[in-house]
Structure 1
């Protein structure tokens, strides 16, 4: 890659990350405001997870849903999924804060959430970039260079899968409440 295209790529990455964070934190914040409904739900006793593979495959399914829906809807559905993901993380956090205390709630999200969020973002970014390429083709008939972009997308998605795998191991083995 040329230096100019690397700068554009980084700028595009940062713009998409900002959009991702706004939607994710928007969902998280909304769950804080909806906490009057959440405080009595004990998610820990209502969810039975037997292995890290269950967590991994659930997160992988959500990531693939983000990828496909983002491409099909030009990013709209994937943004809604990210918003809902933030909302549910916030719901878990608020519920755990009420039931177990703030220290346990922070312990639950602080170690695995950043890794999982990066994994989800990589799928989100690829979906946005592919839909942007498709729109560019539709509007201006620019050639889509999927041969070079495909390698980048593939490496980003594999990296995302790796982050999701690590997050699922952390969530299952190291976060025992």
Structure 2
């Protein structure tokens, strides 16, 4: 019969080795990333950005008709503004942008505004955040904002050219506080 002390000692040494030296597994990164919206920069789409905007406003595509029906079925207090759900330019905007390009070019269109103290980019779109969209995917980019001394209002939307679905979008309102120099007067 073996000595119980030796068995306990071996078990202690073996278990402490496992705790001290953890085992790491190494995975090889995949060269091919699977995107929900894969690259399509080589495909040719005849529709212009203005034609798409008009179709969006008239709710011509089935994906937008479904979205509109779901919007109408919600109680009034749960409904967001329809102009945000289906993008519409602001009527009194300082700038309206409609562009068709690759998703990785969106980051270059941030507008820098100041609330009197802090500089802020809008829309602060980080393409790394939207990991379901390939950087080489064609998109429609709509951007409308009004920047005055008292406030900044803006809205934007990014639609996939091929599926006509909204990839990203939002709106903002930022009141501006007086600048430091105005307080010195």
The TM-score normalised by the length of structure 1 is 0.23
Structure ranking higher in helix proportion: 1
Structure ranking higher in strand proportion: 2
Q: Pick 1 or 2: higher relative contact order, CA cutoff 8 A, min separation 6.
A: 1
The TM-score normalised by the length of structure 2 is 0.22
